[in-house]
Chains A and B, each alone.
Chain A
Amino acid sequence: MANVSIRALNKKYDNGFHAVKDVNLEIHDKEFMVLVGPSGCGKTTTLRMVAGLEEITSGEIRIGERVINDLPPMDRDIAMVFQNYALYPHKTVFGNMAFGLQMRGYSEQEVKKRVKDAADILGIETLLERKPRQLSGGQRQRVAVGRAIVRHPEVFLFDEPLSNLDAKLRVQMRVELKRLHERLETTAIYVTHDQVEAMTLGTRVVVMKDGLVQQVGEPLELYGRPANRFVAGFIGSPAMNFVEVAISGAGDALWAQAEGLRIRVPQQFSSRIQTGTRLTLGVRPEALRLANGSDEHSFATAVDVVEPLGNEILLNFRAGGVPMVARVDPSVRVKAHDNIHFAFDPQRLHFFDAKTEAAI
């Protein structure tokens, strides 16, 4: 059992910077947990504290039943893959993968066997005698992963392992990592700033900002029910559209209004929203569609820029005083500067408190 539990974890640097604030996480056995957030949000620091590369200011980290706060990295039974691969340049691929085993005193036979097994899994059997500088980026990445898996650790730690690869390779390696995780069934903690990576890889995803955990959940849960405006804006591309709206009306007939925009507040919100307040309305690009005229949630606008992507078309326009994006079917024929009506899907609207930014 290799569940990782992080309790009230804090990291304060000597210069007073509070990088990680009261983080509580329960990472289950065999789970692939992704920490995602903008740079400086404390995700890497959290990971490095789990690895033992960064001192813990306060709080507790357990792997299984062991408290590992004060254990040196070598005794934590973890393996880490770094962003720049951190391959030992003076060792061959074999030497790189064998180093951790040799340091732990495995027999030569066992080392050979394990390295060979790992190399087979990753398809790098033919590279074992090469030096890292003779490898391409993708191959180095594989070696770095191989070096982690030969040890059969309790927990894998990944620190943005794909961000040094080009876009195409990144997509390919992403799938391979997921496949690998399914095969090895080892608990993994993965740090990235790329929300697509987070969504595709994570069993669950932790969104962090300014050292605080914003939301923990399965990818679709984060997407469908973001806990606050930050998560809503961070997850999904193009990002969710936000408009400041004023609430008017009474009872069941509440209306959200902004410049050139007046829509009816859907039923499910009416008990939680009061008239006279100001809120932020959030709507995903795909929750906008072309209106057929009779919609209660529609508004008129002029399309600004059309981005035909092939499988979809992105329409940029202004509504409620802010720029917005709609994602529509590629069969829609719209030219720039056309005047059209958009309608919201009432089931997929989000409201956020204007001050606390929490979802309503």
Chain B
Amino acid sequence: MLIERKWKKWMYFYLPMAVFILFTLFPFYWMAVTAFRPDPELYRTWRQPNAAPLWTLEPTLEHVIGLMKTTAFPIWLWNTMLIAIVSTIISLVCGMFAGYALARLRFRGSEFLGTAIFITYLVPQTLLFIPLADIIRDMQLGNTPWALMLTYPTILIPFCTWLLMGYFKTIPKELEECARIDGATRFGAMVRIIFPVAIPGILSAGIFAFTLSWNEFIYALVFMASADQKTVPVGVVSELIRGDIFFWGQLMAGALLGSVPVALVYSFFVEYYVTGLTGSVKG
């Protein structure tokens, strides 16, 4: 009986799990290996003797160094960081207040407003960038970080608002009522009680907003022209594919370095992130 159960556990749990992990992590592994593989090894066919497609025999930093020296990668990294942080902060602040209002305040048309915000989230960026480009041009923001800092919130605010609205709804109303009896105004109760209690939700909204703006491609491609204004995803692709030549080593080094900050952010807040998306507050 027990043996059968063990066997079943392997069959239905560990095996699918292993396949899943392999499937998700292999691209990252491939990226990392390629980033540290010297060029001769990169272009060696698999049939040749001493070919090692799954690992590298002589790991090298030449691609990373080349990336730093021959391209504006450090500047891209800085641009991306700045834009992602600023647009995340803007979106979080707006999302917190809007989410709170939709979750707690009773006003005419609040449900309609909630739905309308959600619908804007559904409009694909591939359509939205056309009118936005027009606005950016009129406001003469093109090719400045502001073009992205102000357009990213158009996708991030609806998302943050909805996530936070859901989270605020799980916080018992009584907490706030009690704070108001204790001597806080409605605003004070929101800032002193509801927001601190909602930190898991706020953090997960923030992480999500940060990664979305970090990885964003279309707006960054359209609104940024000069090499020193680009973000990592656009810069890597536009500057390291020259004509039909792919600089695989540097491309992968750029991708690897570009994903490190996101991975760090996630690993620091992963517990909050999970409770933010699934958990609720108990008094």
Contact = CB atoms under 8 A, between A and B. Distances in A.
Interface of A: 51-53, 72-74, 76, 78-80, 82-90, 99-100, 103-104, 132-133, 140, 147, 151
Contacts of A85: 283
27 contacts: A52-B180, A53-B180, A74-B180, A74-B181, A74-B184, A74-B185, A80-B177, A82-B174, A84-B172, A84-B174, A86-B172, A86-B174, A88-B179, A88-B197, A89-B197, A89-B282, A89-B283, A90-B199, A99-B179, A99-B182, A100-B181, A103-B183, A103-B184, A133-B282, A147-B178, A147-B182, A151-B182
Interface of B: 172, 174-175, 177-185, 188, 193, 196-197, 199, 281-283
Contact of B182 (A52, A103, A132): A103
A87 B281 CA distance: 11
Contacts of A147: 178, 182
A90 B184 CA distance: 16
Contacts of B182: 74, 99-100, 103, 147, 151
Contact of A82 (B177, B183, B197, B281): B177
Contact of A84 (B179, B185, B283): B283
A72 B283 contact: no
Given A74-B185, A82-B174, A88 B193 contact: yes
A72 B281 contact: no
A73 B177 contact: yes
A78 B181 contact: yes
Contacts of B188: 103
B178 A82 contact: yes
Given A89-B197, A103-B188, A132-B283, A51 B172 contact: no
A-B interface, 5 closest residue pairs, ranked by CB to CB distance from nearest: A103-B183, A100-B182, A86-B174, A86-B178, A82-B174
A89 B199 CA distance: 11
A130 to B, nearest CB: 14
Contacts, number: 67
A176 B180 CA distance: 27
Contacts of B174: 82-84, 86
Among A72, A73, A90, A99, which residue has the most Cβ atoms of chain B within 10 A? Answer: A73
Nearest to A85: B283
Contacts of B184: 74, 103
Contacts of B177: 51, 53, 73, 80, 82, 86
A92 B206 CA distance: 26
A73 B196 contact: no
Contacts of A52: 180-181
Nearest to A48: B177
A78 B184 CA distance: 13
A80 B178 CA distance: 7
B180 A86 contact: no
B197 A90 contact: yes
Given A86-B174, A89-B282, 9 more contacts: A52-B180, A52-B181, A53-B180, A74-B180, A74-B183, A78-B181, A86-B175, A86-B283, A151-B182
Nearest to B198: A90
A353 B193 CA distance: 53
A83 B172 CA distance: 11
Contacts of B283: 84-87, 89, 132, 140
Contacts of A87: 283
A118 to B, nearest CB: 14
